[in-house]
Amino acid sequence: IIIFNQNALFLFDKKNIKKLISEIWIFFPDPWSKKKHNKRRLVNKYFINKINFFLKKDSKIYITTDSRDYLISILDTFSKSKHYLWINEIPYKWDYAFNKLPDTKYYKKSLINKRKSFFLHFQKI
């Protein structure tokens, strides 16, 4: 298990962990809500192409967000990739609470602000 509380791309650049990762969990990445800042989002085309190199076949990627705009962006990014399959396509399976995930600081914040939190599950093919 590797827990890395910084920009994950730094970890991938520094370590030779090719084809060793079987799961990636990303909880509430910064949505960079302003349009001009969208390029700073962690989950983008560059990121999913880069992690593909480090993931074993059938590896799982779990992502949570409470930003509808970021949700759409994540789904769009993964749908354009040939390397990943969206596992929980059925809408009720996107519900953070349904999946019995931890009550993180950002999940609690989304409840206070009456924002729905989403859970996405992808698999490398």
Query: Does residue 95 have an active-site annotation?
Result: no
Catalytic position from the list 30, 58, 76, 103: 30
Count CA atoms closer than 13 A to 23's CA, side-chain side: 8
Hunting for tokens 């093919």 — which residue is that?
125
Strand partners, 63: 26, 120
- Reading the block at residue 37, the tokens are 């800042």
Between CA 69 and CA 67 the distance in angstroms is 5
Measured CA to CA in angstroms, residue 96 lies from 13, 14, 44, 71 at distances of: 31, 32, 21, 13
Q: What positions carry a catalytic annotation?
A: 30
